[in-house]
Amino acid sequence: MQINIWSEEFGAATDEPIVLVMGSMSQGILWPDEFVGRLAAGGRRVVRYDHRDTGASDTVDFERHPYTWHDIKDDLLRVMDAHGLDSAHLVGHSAGGLLGQLVAVERPERVRTLTVIGSSPLGGGEGAVLMRALMGEPQPEGSLPEPTPEFVAFFRELIVAPPPADRREQIERMIAEQRVLHGTALPFDEDAARRLQERVYDRARSLAAVVNHRLAAAAAPGFEPVGVLDQVKAPTLVVEGTHEPAKPGHGAIIAERIPGARLLMIDGMGHTLPPEVHEELAGAVLAHTANGT
């Protein structure tokens, strides 16, 4: 089945290419325009895109055409192909960081450098950790750190909440989720959050289609190979916020498992990319991708 993936490009075609990979159930526009602009102004050719079943990319009838996260990973490679990129600097956020890690293991020739932001280590079983936390079950010894209590409480309520009645209610729920992911250190700009979530809502072909990402994960629970991060050859930068609510402490584990990886902790950052962190984060990515050219 042919899937059309929406993407857009910034910067000069002759500049070093960066492909931004957003997380599960998330549109590419969650890479803030200001952050993307800083990368382009720094001499980078920047590509961002919507995963299948998000934003302006095609939606899929999952019952008729089931897929797995291997297919979502292959979409990333197809985006690179469509932009004429034999290789690129991959910058992944959350589950996008998992995809970047997997591509770096499976297709090292396509990854110039890897930057992983707010993510979990490939093969760490982060999904199972989250489900146990939501169910109130104990974590086995050696499991990844679980999300913060505030994160767990919010998503427990969200699971049992009735579907939003209309656009207004849906956007309010999306803002509430963004507030939790934002963390507790930096001020939360509700007006900016509303503008972003209205944009997310209005450009989506089907907001409901994002649940297919969960079905894709269940269809191939062995998507993440275990014990392979020592095979990553690309120079790797791991970024985590000091107030990460979803995957606290996971960045240090990634950095420990990838040879030569460097860990950057950004003060105040949670699991979103607010304006307060753009300068430091963009500067770090520009420096890292310069070293890998």
Q: For residues 52 and 209, what is the distance between their CA atoms, to the nearest angstrom?
A: 9
Number of domains composing the chain: 1
Question: Does 187 fall in a domain?
Answer: yes
DSSP 29: G
Going by pLDDT thresholds of 50, 70 and 90, the confidence category of residue 107 is: very high
- Res. 293: pLDDT tops 50: no
Give the C-alpha separation, 146 to 13, whole Å. Answer: 41
Residue 259: inside a domain: yes
Whether the pLDDT of residue 292 is over 60: the answer is no
pLDDT tens across 156-204, in order? 999 899 999 999 999 999 999 999 999 999 999 999 999 999 999 999 9
Across all residues in the chain, what is the average pLDDT?
A: 96
Amino acid at 14: T
Distance CA 53, CA 197 (A): 17
Domain that holds residue 44: 7-291
Query: Between the CA of residue 139 and those of 104, 159, 222, 255, what are the distances in Å?
Result: 29, 20, 19, 22
CA distance 291 to 293: 6
Q: In CATH, what number is assigned to the domain containing residue 264?
A: 3.40.50.1820
In a domain, 114, yes or no: yes
Domain annotation covers residue 2: no
Q: Are 7 and 56 in contact (CB under 8 A)?
A: no
Q: Is residue 1 part of a domain?
A: no
Q: For tokens 């009645």, what's the residue? A: 165
- In eight-state DSSP terms, residue 28 is G
- CA–CA gap between residue 23 and residue 30 (Å, rounded): 9
Average pLDDT over residues 92-111: 98
